[in-house]
Structure 1
Amino acid sequence: MDKEQFLHLVEKHLSGKATSEEERILLRYYNSFQQSDLEVEKDFLVSDERKNVILGNIQKEIQKGSTGSLLGKEILKYAAIAILLLGAGYFFNRGMLNTNENAPLILNENSITLEMENGSKNVITEGAQINIKNSNGNIIANQNGNQLVYENNADSEELVYNTLRVPYGKKFNLQLSDGSKAFLNAGSSIKYPVRFLQGMERRVFLTGEVFLEVEKDSAHPFIVNADNINIQVLGTKFNVNAYPEDDTADVVLVEGSVQLRGDGDNLDSIRLKPGFKGSYNKKTQNFDTKEVITDIYTSWMEGELVFRNMTFQNILKKLERHYNVVIINNNKRLSSEKFNASFGNDPLINVLENLKATYHIDFKIDKNQITIN
């Protein structure tokens, strides 16, 4: 995180517009406070007496909130006071934050991250408007809110990759240098060239669930490596669901045409038509196809949850990703049974109550852990 990103977080927090995750990122730095360090930085404080009161309260409230799933209002109140009294300069002078955009950062597992070509990782703050620079200090992309947009920099002659990772409970969008778009669902990642090169195929690597809108370019085929399958397209719209823990990898074609081929020595391949789903069974290494209603498989982009002929265990896994929770299933009777279910932008408690009424389960919530009985 650079200074611009940090001050953006401070501004959002003080205006009351920061998300709970942004508040956690901001408050992580307060958890690094050591009383002995602060005593030598009196230029940033109004008085020793006031300093001890404020910092003591911050530490006390952080310790209270660190074991819970939500941050208390008191933490935010004292954090705001500390920001105003200490100033951002304290953090940078003490090395808690670094103005070097490629400097290592202690990452929260719930942060959206961008891994650069040199292996350094940056936290992507949702809603920010900033420039993304490479290790040479050149701008390669712009963040516009919840989307990264890469420039088609003609000066680049080397194939250089970035990797965007989206944690559970979040979604994020990406526009590649050729104008192709990728919409990432929770728990997904995509590795892609900063810029596609002339005379070479356009190849990306993804894990999880991603909806792609590929710009047509017959001279440069677009290849997607997703778990155990390769997808070749010229210009199309399709959804890829390829989480490593799932038994199948699925591709649903909305527009255009795609060719699916097994990875490695498996030469089995199929061509999809719009309105069809191609599924690759990881155990048998075979493909099958079926006609589907494509909206069902792209509804996640609107925040909806739609399950069709899905095992109860897989439904619970998707709920984990969507709501960023841990679900322990003790109801083995239902694990392998298949169900249909649809939920809008419902709170998790509503979904659980619906499952309880429909499938006669019991559940217990303990912070961010749910136990199904």
Structure 2
Amino acid sequence: MNKEQLLLLIEKHLSGKATPEEEKILLRYYNSFQKDHIELEKDSLVSDDRKKVILENIQKEIDKESTRKLWTKEILKYAAIGILLLGTAYFFRMKVMDTSGNPPSELRENSITLEMENGSRKVIAEDATISIKNFDGSVIANQSGNQLMYGKEADTEELVYNTLRVPYGKKFRLMLSDGTKAHLNAGSSLKYPVKFLQGMERRVYLTGEAFLEVEKDSVHPFIVNAENLNIQVLGTKFNVNAYPEDETADVVLVEGSVQLGGKAQGMDSVLLKPGFKGSYNKKTQDFDTKEVITGIYTTWMEGDLVFRNMTFQNILKKLERHYDVVIINKNKRLSSEKFNASFGDDPLIKVLENLKSTYDIDFKIEKNQITIY
């Protein structure tokens, strides 16, 4: 069990929504954390000073949480210990078991991960061919390389959500249970039902950027929720760029039709035609549409980088996502200026040299951190 699972069980327990089976799971971890606590003191690979600091921190966590009256003293104590132990996993070399019972794998910051309904997470290796199973052992999806495919066979009559997260420097493809295809760009996540249900809208939740090819179904509208922007379609191909840090959320329609609407009451909706881009200003909550060359906005799926009328600061942010690096901009003169730029699937050093010669900047590379001057 990982930290997210444990936190979810704690939350359900405190709200009175934990099932008897979940209470038993929590009690089992009560016992296992007690054992881990003892093993920590005997672990010769952890220095005495480090043991002392960790155990002092555990006690602080217990003291801090002891005011929560809904927990019994013992469960609270070991839940707090468990959270801290999981938070210092590299000391105890703890592994995260996936829900299929496969051998454990370490969660890495640059890994593609799949979060299950109960909060557990599974690392998705990009070259794997495996079946994804639910807690009851039933297959809900199959992975083939860089694509995860859900079928209509999932045995559920309730909305059960999975969340696919793609880190910086990577991309991944997903096929939903209705046949809709989603291509996720770096630094993006998509929350979606394991199975779309009869008589209900098909709603998914996007953070970041994705290109979607939605299967037509006039009875079940497909809705993409991207923060405060709702995109409703029946069947179409379109690109959504909705990273939290960007000033606008952009939708570029390649085929079909989509309707854009905000969450605020009384907002007008916008019907987008193929070949147009609709932009939602997060600050003013206004929509703007204009005709564009759609291919410019979908080249990221092939690994290319194309920037049109984009601020230098936003260009650097996209480079961070694409190459999985940290970029510190000390050239404030260029931050808000807008530029056009195109790069193929070039190495980062070539992109930086191009920016240097074109925009008269300088840069320094230290490991995965680039400083722009």
**Structure 1 length-normalised TM:** 0.73
The CA distance in 1 between the partners of 2:253 and 2:138, in whole Å, is 37
Deviations 1:23-66 (A, max 9, x none): xxxxxxxxxxx9958xxxxxxxxxxxxxxxxxxxxxxxxxxxxx
Secondary structure of 2:298's counterpart equals: helix
Q: What residue identity is the alignment partner of 2:177?
A: S
Give the match for residue 200 of structure 2: 200
More moved, 103-112 vs 342-351: 103-112
Which residue is 2:245 aligned to?
245
Match of 1:86 in 2: none
Q: Using the TM superposition, give the Cα deviation of residue 266 of structure 1 relative to its aligned residue in structure 2, in angstroms.
A: 5.0
- Structure 1 gaps of 5+ residues are 2-33, 38-93
Query: Equivalent residue for 2:144?
Result: 144
**Cα 1:95–1:241, aligned 2, differ >3 Å: closer, same or farther?**
closer
**Counterpart position of 2:122:** 122
CA contact (8 A) 1:164 1:189 kept: yes
Decide whether aligned partners of structure 1 residues 211 and 127 sit closer, same or farther in structure 2, where only a CA change above 3 A counts: same
Residue 39 of structure 2 corresponds to which residue in structure 1?
A: none
- Counterpart of 1:235, as a letter, is G
Map of 2:344 onto structure 1: 344
Matched, 1:236 2:236: yes
Alpha-carbon separation, structure 2, partners of 1:155 and 1:112: 26
- CA deviation vs aligned residue, 1:282-319 (integer Å, no higher than 9, x gap): 11100010000000000000000000000000000000
Contact 2:174 2:181 in 1 (8 A): yes
Q: Aligned partners of 1:169 and 1:97: how far apart in 2?
A: 23
Paired positions, count: 286
Q: Which residue of 2 aligns with 1:159?
A: 159
Does the Cα contact within 8 Å between 2:311 and 2:337 map onto a contact in 1? yes
Structure 2: tracts of 5 or more residues without a match: 2-41, 46-92
Runs of 4+ in 1 over 2 A off after TM superposition: 34-37, 94-107
The answer on whether the counterparts of 2:215 and 2:236 sit within 8 Å (CA) in structure 1 is yes
SS of residue in 2 equivalent to 1:264: coil
**Distance change in 2, residues 1:346/1:105 (3 Å):** same
> Does 2:301 correspond to 1:301?
yes
Contact 1:227 1:249 in 2 (8 A): no
2:116·2:163 contact (CA, 8 Å) conserved in 1? yes
CA gap of 1:100–1:268, structure 2 versus 1, over 3 A, is closer
Kindly report the root-mean-square deviation, in angstroms, between the aligned alpha carbons of the 2 structures.
Answer: 2.1
- Please give the secondary structure, in 2, of the residue aligned with 1:322: helix
1:330 matched residue in structure 2: 330
TM-score, with length taken from structure 2: 0.73
> Residues 154 and 368 (structure 1 numbering): CA distance in 2 closer, same or farther, change over 3 Å?
closer
Structure 1 vs Structure 2: percent identity of aligned residues? 78
Which residue is 2:73 aligned to?
Answer: none
Which amino acid letter does the alignment assign opposite residue 224 of structure 2? V
- Matches of 1:95 and 1:151, distance apart in 2: 33
Query: What's the counterpart of residue 59 of structure 2?
Result: none
Are the equivalent residues in 1 in contact too, given 2:99–2:120 (CA < 8 A)?
Answer: no
CA separation in 2, counterparts of 1:151 and 1:35? 46
